[in-house]
Structure 1
Amino acid sequence: MLISKAACICRIILTMSSLLSLPLFAQKQITEIRVIDSEKESVIESATLQWRALGSSLYMDGTTTDRKGIARVNADVGRKLVLSVSYVGYQTATDTITSDGKRYTIKLNPDAMALENVVVFGKTKARIIRESPEAVSVINAKELQGRSVSLETILNKTIGLKVGQTGGLGSSSRIIVHGLEGNRIQILWDGIPMNTSDGAFSLDEIPIDIIERIEVYKSIIPARFGCDGLGGAVNIVTKEFSTDYLDASYELGSYQTHKASIFSRKNFPKSGILLGAGGYYTSAKNDYSFRVPEREDLLVKRDHDCFRSYMLKGKIAFSKLWFDEMSTEFGYYNRFNEMQGVLKNIRYAEDKSGMFMLENKLIKSGMLNNCLDFESHFSLSHTTNNFVDTARVNH
Structure 2
Amino acid sequence: MSSHKPLVLLVLSFCTCAAYAQTPEDKEELSSVTVESTGDESDLRHSPLPVTVIDAERFHGRNISLNEVLKRVAGVRLREEGGLGSRTTLAIHGLEGKRVKIFINGNPLNSPDGTFGINDIPIQLIQNIEIYKGVVPARFGGDALGGAVNIVLRDFEGSWVDLNYGHGSFDTQRAAAVLTKMFEAQKIEVGIGGFYNHAANDYVMKSPFVDGLKIRRDHDAYSSYAAGLVMTLDDRWFDEIELELVHFESDKEIQGIQSNIQQAKTKTQLQAVAVSLERADFLLDRLDFEYDFAWLAIEAKFIDKAMECFSFDGSARTCPGVGGEISGIPHDSNDEHEDLRHDLNLHYSINRNHGINLHLNTVRSTFSPCDPLASEELGYVIGAFPSDKTNSVIT
TM-score w.r.t. the length of structure 1 is 0.64
Matches within 5 A, 1:1-395: 119-197=34-112, 199=114, 202-290=117-205, 299-368=214-283, 370-392=285-307, 393-394=319-320
Distance 1:140 1:290 in 2: 38
Instruction: Tell me, in whole angstroms, the C-alpha distance in 2 between the residues paired with 1:146 and 1:385.
Output: 33
Q: Provide the rounded CA distance (Å) in 1 between the counterparts of 2:68 and 2:13.
A: 47
- Relative distance call for 1:386 and 1:223 in structure 2 (3 A) is farther
Structure with bigger gyration radius: 1
Answer whether contact 2:125 2:154 (CA < 8 A) is retained. Answer: yes
CA RMSD of aligned residues (A): 3.1
Are the structure 2 counterparts of residues 141 and 338 from structure 1 closer, same or farther at C-alpha, using a change threshold of 3 Å? Answer: same
Distance 1:267 1:390, change over 3 A: same
Q: Contact 1:327 / 1:361 at 8 angstroms: preserved in 2?
A: yes
Amino acid at match of 2:320: N
Q: For the Cα contact (< 8 Å) 1:332–1:355, is it kept in 2? A: yes
The Cα shift of 1:276 comes to: 1.7
Kindly state the Cα deviation for residue 118 of structure 1 after the two structures are TM-superposed: 5.5
After TM superposition, give the deviation of residue 279 of structure 1 in Å: 0.6
Structure 2 counterpart SS, 1:233: strand
Contact (CA 8 Å) 2:63, 2:167: kept in 1 or not?
no
Paired residues of 1:190 and 1:235 also in contact (CA < 8 A): yes
Cα pair distance change 1:269/1:165, threshold 3 Å: same
1:262: Cα distance to partner?
Answer: 0.3
- Would the aligned equivalents of 2:115 and 2:268 in 1 still touch at CA under 8 Å? no
Farther off after superposition, 181-190 or 141-150: 181-190
Question: What secondary structure, in the 3-state scheme, does the structure 1 residue paired with 2:83 have?
Answer: coil
Change (3 A) 1:286 1:198: same
Which position in structure 2 is the counterpart of 1:78? Answer: none
Instruction: Measure how far apart 1:349 and its partner are.
Output: 0.6
Structure 1, unpaired ranges of 5+: 1-45, 47-85, 92-114
CA distance in 2, matches of 1:378, 1:134: 27
Match of 2:4 in 1: none
Determine the C-alpha separation between the residues in 2 that align with 1:291 and 1:180. Answer: 35
- Give 2:22's aligned residue: none
State the percentage of identical aligned residues.
36
Residue number in structure 2 paired with 1:72: none
Q: Whole-Å Cα distance in 2 between the matches of residues 387 and 363 of structure 1?
A: 40
For 1:301 and 1:196, locate their aligned partners in 2 and report how far apart those are by CA, in whole Å.
34
Unaligned runs of 5+ in 2: 1-6, 15-29, 308-318, 322-395
Instruction: Letter of the 2:91 partner, please give it.
Output: I
Asked whether the 8 Å contact 2:160–2:180 carries over to 1, the reply is yes
Q: Deviations over 1:180-201 (max 9, x none)?
A: 2223322333334333545575
Residues 195, 90 of structure 1: alpha-carbon distance in 2 compared, 3 angstrom cutoff: farther
